[in-house]
Structure 1
Amino acid sequence: MSTTARDNGAAGGQVPDRGAVSREIAAVGHADLSPRTLALVESAFQERLERLERHVGPGPVTVRCGAGAPLAFGRAASASGRRLIVVVPTHNGVPAMPPRRDRMAAGELLNLADQARLLPYEPNHRDSCVGADERMIAAGGLLLAAWDGSPSNGLDATAHLVAYARARGIPVEIVWPAGAERGAGEAVPAPSVALPAGGTAEPPGARSSRVHCRSVLAGELLDETDEPVVKTYPIVRGTGLPVFGAGFSVTESAPDSVRTFENGVPVRTYGRKRWTGAGGSPRGDGRDPAP
């Protein structure tokens, strides 16, 4: 389906036609957002999705697995009730390990995702990542970009991706709220905390994560995870893959809850056991006690 290029700018402007957003909404942007800007972009993106919902209806949001703008977009899409598709790098058909700076964001995005899309590219190679973004944009009907207007460089290619979409007649909307700024982009701030009924929640920044991914990535994130979630599908595929396909310290988890989808797939949630040392003092390293 052909679309008409229409750049709505940071202020909102015109709304893309229904045909454009009946396809996927691709989202790209800077990875080096400051923690404050990450929250600003998330809020602005959620507002933009709600406006699109009123005018053109729902459409899935697609992001490439990574920190910064993709994480802000993923959180906003989930909060807006949109389907979230996360593009995951693969090597020889097996999910590849993202760079260390992206791993915590990758775990959260995969937990929020309705679908993980496997795509062969090298997550540590800039040009390979740009190629993956181009394929994601070309498959969509609208591009939302967290872009400060700066040109592309050896690390960031957001300007190139905006130009790529415009050149192919794909509508582009820029999301860069007032007060937004670039930062180190190394730390991934904790998601918004919701207070449970009758209880308290951990303060923002407290160690809290959930692994909801596959094999190698799950293994790499296991030592940083407090609550593993395991889905069991009744499918046999070749020799299969290990549940945790990477090295990690020996851990033990305790069953927390089990729920079942309508199609019969069980989802088990586990809590990490924290062993105590001599005298009952906590060891806090999550490992099994010495024999």
Structure 2
Amino acid sequence: MTSVAVTGHMDLTDRSLGLVRAALDRLLVPYRGPELAGLSCLAAGADSVFAQAVLAAGGRIVAVLPARGYRADVVDEEHAPLFDRLLAEVEEVIVLPHATANRHAYEAANAELLRRADRLVAVWNGEPPSGKGGGTADTVHAARAAAIPVDVVWPEGASRARG
């Protein structure tokens, strides 16, 4: 079995979602089949696109939810239908014991993803950490420090939808 975790930007543009999905489909080809376990928090953007690609590759999903109230407190109305559909398809759900999805909960979720992962896929534009902790760059740095192989996915033309 190969366990592949994901970290990545939530605020991908609509165009970027398709570009990232195509890149993930290509990246997962060597792991296709039931021995592929995708580890994801199922957040909007990279996490959900990755989960969809894993399922399309015949793999299974392990969801790591940062807090008990994650669905109610964090998942917005626009993302809720996809989140619920993906959650219904997961093989295992790990809910961390945090009451709310705060920075500490996200850091703990990322640590749990890395603890279980053979490799990390980072849908990441390469920007340095924000200094807040728990973000994509922080997770990439932690994976590299732990000698977990990292595949960075940022296709030509991908961008973030910053307000």
Fold-level match, TM-score > 0.5?
yes
Letter paired with 2:46 = A
Matches within 5 A, 1:32-51: 32-51=11-30
Matches within 5 A, 1:262-281: none
State the 1:27 CA deviation. 0.8
Moved over 4 A (4+): none
Question: Is residue 106 of structure 1 aligned with residue 104 of structure 2?
Answer: no
Q: Which residue does the alignment assign to 2:149?
A: 171
What is the TM-score with the length of structure 2 in the denominator? 0.84
Question: Is residue 72 of structure 1 aligned with residue 49 of structure 2?
Answer: yes
Q: 1:148 aligns with which of 125, 137, 151?
A: 125
Provide structure 1 residue ranges, at least 5 long, that are not aligned to the other structure.
1-21, 186-291
Letter paired with 2:84 = G
Distance 1:105 1:98 in 2: 16
In our comparison, the structure showing a higher alpha carbon Rg is: 1
Q: 1:134 to 1:60 in 2, by over 3 A?
A: same
Distance 1:39 1:173 in 2: 18
Question: Is residue 60 of structure 1 aligned with residue 42 of structure 2?
Answer: no
Distance 2:123 2:4 in 1: 13
How many correspondences in the alignment? 160
Q: Secondary structure at the match of 1:61?
A: strand
Q: 1:63 to 1:124 in 2, by over 3 A?
A: same
State the 1:43 CA deviation. 1.4
Q: Which residue does the alignment assign to 1:97?
A: 72
Q: Is the 8 A contact 1:75 1:112 kept in 2?
A: no
Q: Is the 8 A contact 1:26 1:137 kept in 2?
A: yes
Q: Secondary structure at the match of 2:159?
A: coil
Q: Percent identity at matched positions?
A: 30
Matches within 5 A, 1:84-233: 84-91=61-68, 97-101=72-76, 102-122=79-99, 124-153=101-130, 154=132, 157-184=135-162
Q: Is the 8 A contact 2:110 2:139 kept in 1?
A: yes
Residue deviations 1:110-139, cap 9 Å, x none? 133232222223553123212211111122
Q: Which residue does the alignment assign to 1:28?
A: 7
Distance 2:70 2:46 in 1: 22
Higher RCO, 1 vs 2 (CA within 8 Å, ≥6 residues apart): 2
Residue deviations 1:200-251, cap 9 Å, x none? xxxxxxxxxxxxxxxxxxxxxxxxxxxxxxxxxxxxxxxxxxxxxxxxxxxx
Identify, as 1 or 2, the structure richer in helix: 2
Q: Secondary structure at the match of 2:104?
A: helix
Q: Is the 8 A contact 2:129 2:138 kept in 1?
A: yes
Distance 1:98 1:135 in 2: 20
Q: 1:42 to 1:65 in 2, by over 3 A?
A: same
